A and B are shown apart, each in its own frame.
Chain A
Amino acid sequence: MDYGIEQRDQEAAVRLRGRLTFNDHAKLRALIGEMKQNKAKRQVLDLSSLEFVDSAGIGMLLIAREEMVAATKELVLRGAVGQVKRVLTVAQIGKIVTIED
């Protein structure tokens, strides 16, 4: 998985690309650190270029959400398609994190 962060006025848009699995633990640690440090109150994870996510990847997204709550920031998951969208639905992640199309 790779990511790029685009800083706007009120929100930071983070585009995730490729496959998000348990092997991406180091990248997720770095990403969560960057999201905590930037000034935007609203952190949007753009999942439209993410091709695959596993259960550990979902777990890491939930950790990101908890860390944003602790930093009084909002986390939004946006634009999931295909397998990623199906897993988010099956795991009922919408009950915990804001999901936008």
Chain B
Amino acid sequence: MQSPTRKTAVLGLLIALSLMFSYIESVIPVPLVVPGAKLGLPNTLILLVLYTYGVKEAVLVNAARIMLSGFLFGNMFGILYSLAGAAVSFAVMLLAKKSTLFPMKAVSILGGVFHNIGQILVAAFLVSGISVMAYLPVLLAAGVVTGLCNGILAEMIYKRGIV
């Protein structure tokens, strides 16, 4: 469908773009600050790559983004933390897409919600004493809102076939 060269170039651009989104996210303090809550902007691109290209490419862009942003703006601890969230989120989105039960927007919501669940679980595991119950309602609601927004965005871009 697309030439390999074009694909390589587009994926490179998307990695760069998702890296930028990661950076923007790291400098915007989310008003409802809870560990694990993020806007999830890069997920818009991950979703787009998953639908346009496939699993392999989406994993590649996701992993590259996390490693790059982790080493540039964070540390080893941060990398492991976001890898956990991203892995749970991606696995759920993949299953949801494969099941063909859900449209893109719904897949995005599931991704957002499970990203937050994954991160809070890792946080609870790493730092004993965190009350997960206190955060879960906020994280679930935040995941729905950010997931829906990102999903709408990703669907618009996907349908226009820009990528």
Whether chains A and B associate is: no
Chain B interface residues (CB < 8 Å from chain A): none
Chain A interface residues (CB < 8 Å from chain B): none
